[in-house]
Amino acid sequence: MTHEELVKLDHQYTLQTYGRFDVDIDHGKGARLWDLAGKEYVDFTAGIGTASVGYGNERWAKAITDQALKLGHISNLFYNQPYARLAQTLCQRSGMAGAFFGNSGAESNEGAIKLARKYSFDKYGKGRGTILTLKNSFHGRTVTTLAATGQDVFHNYFFPFTDGFRYAEPTMDGISEVAGHDVCAVMLELVQGEGGVFPMDKAFVHDLAVLCAERDWLLLVDEVQTGVGRTGTLFCFQQYGILPDAVTFAKGIAGGLPMGGFLVSERCRGVLGPGTHASTFGGNPVCAAAALEVQEILDDAALEQVAEKGQYLRRGIEALELPCLGKTRGLGLMIGVEVAEGHTNKELAAKLMDAGLLVLTAGHNVLRLLPPLTITREEIDEGLAIMARVFGE
């Protein structure tokens, strides 16, 4: 099939909800991808942070095929080993106390929202169901997680949205302005991803955690993008010196298979009892086996390298002093690069793509880099060389 034939087929039979790049991808290895025509790309996107252990990873593929041949799916009416073992690994590595598994980031956040409302209902009864989220946040595409998302552009078309969210500036004054007796939780990303790669201030996060404890608000951390090693620790909250009541994850958890979920703290372990929450495919054995292998691959030494490689990539970009790019920011291999005035992130991303480097965009005018966490220095250097060549003139 040619690129043109594929595009025609896609346009004829699929809903055109995505503003796709005019590129198809056929296969990959490590941090490299190839399209149908055989053109090679260096990939700084990792399928929006999902292909955490790179493409064509043999250990990951073997874990999946072995589990698929053993037991592909069984439902949560029965115990299964990968589910329980994955929960154990995640809890032991994060200091959290219990896990629930679903299929996507939005579903994971919905679970955390339900957890907070149930916790509060059990203790205080009705009227305390409001969750504070931050301006410029992103929490998902379901009706409720769109409502949780603190960006007006997302609050369109699909009325009525779910009640019970208020949006705060990421400061303690901002939180005070929207606080009230109806609040049960705060939900935030520690590095706002879709919003433009903005790491939260450490003092703010610390003070917010203290306030949550004082008011008995649950602290819900959305680590759908920052989680599973992306920022150089298994979860980003581990760098902020806080222990959330719930932390959600998805994107990178199973190395590119659809999986999400959340971990809860000791005091929230019993909140969602039998019959209160469920997901038919949640914790599917094949996805859980893939996620367990991702945990093995991303051991503590690999996570340290994520932090180092992130520094190396950021310094590399800054050292190029390209006129169309500005400052870099981020944590680990979650990097935002400001785009200089007179340029747009879309235009720059398209130019890089033509030259064989895939990057993401975010926020108003930011390039976002989320390479596979197993990317090599050589692959990083290759990406930097493409940037220098395309933007150097």
Ligand X SMILES: *Cc1c(COP(=O)(O)O)cnc(C)c1O
Contacting positions for ligand X (CB under 6 A): 104-106, 109, 138-140, 189, 193-194, 222, 224-225, 250-251
Q: 189 or 293, CB closer to ligand X?
A: 189
Residue closer to ligand X, measured from CB, 134 or 324: 134
Dist. CA 209–CA 211, nearest whole Å: 5
Q: How far apart are CA 122 and CA 116, in angstroms?
A: 10
Task: Answer whether 61's CB lies under 8 Å from 71's CB.
Answer: no
Shorter beta-carbon distance to ligand X: residue 128 or 139:
139
CB closer to ligand X out of 112 and 322: 112
Q: How far is the CB of 62 from ligand X (least distance, A)?
A: 25
Burial class (CB in 10 A: 0-12, 13-18, 19+), 28: buried
Beta carbon of residue 320, minimum distance to ligand X (angstroms, whole number): 27
Tally of residues, the chain: 393
Q: β-strands 366-369, 360-362: how paired?
A: antiparallel
Pairing verdict, β 357-358 and 40-43: parallel
Shortest distance, CB of residue 110 to ligand X, whole angstroms? 9
CA distance linking residue 252 with residue 225, whole number of Å? 7
Q: How far is the CB of 151 from ligand X (least distance, A)?
A: 12
Shortest approach of ligand X to residue 125 CB, angstroms? 30
At its nearest, how many Å lie between ligand X and the CB of residue 315? 25
**Least Å distance between CB 280 and ligand X?**
16
Q: Least distance (Å) from ligand X to the CB of residue 377? A: 27
Q: How far apart are CA 164 and CA 132, in angstroms?
A: 8
H helices present in the chain, as ranges: 3-13, 46-49, 58-70, 81-94, 105-124, 143-148, 172-178, 202-215, 237-240, 285-297, 300-320, 345-355, 377-391
| 36 vs 48, beta carbon nearer ligand X | 48
3-state secondary structure of 6: helix
Nearest residue to 112 (alpha-carbon basis) of 218, 205, 257: 218
Which amino acid is present at 5? E
- Least CB distance from residue 50 to ligand X, whole Å? 9
The residues near 261 (Cβ < 8 Å, ≥ 6 apart) are 99, 100, 101, 102, 108, 111, 248, 249, 250, 253, 282, 283
Question: What does the alpha-carbon distance between residue 159 and residue 273 come to, in Å, rounded to a whole number?
Answer: 31
Residue 261's H or E segment, with its range, is strand 260-264
**Minimal distance, residue 274 CB to ligand X, in Å:** 26
**Residue whose CB is nearest to ligand X in the complex, by number:** 105
In the complex, least distance from residue 146 CB atom to ligand X, rounded to whole angstroms: 10
**Complex with ligand X: residue 46 or 386, whichever CB lies closer:** 46
Q: Between 52 and 104, name the residue whose CB sits nearer to ligand X.
A: 104
Measured from the CB atom, is 222 or 338 closer to ligand X? 222
Nearer to ligand X, 109 or 328 (CB): 109
Residue 30 or 261 with smaller CB distance to ligand X: 261
The strand pair at 40-43 and 32-34 is best described as antiparallel
Q: Which residues contact 152 (CB under 8 A, 6 or more apart)?
A: none
Burial class (CB in 10 A: 0-12, 13-18, 19+), 143: middle
Q: Can you tell me the distance from the alpha carbon of 306 to that of 39, in angstroms, rounded to the nearest whole number?
A: 28
Among residues 324 and 333, whose Cβ is nearest to ligand X? Answer: 333
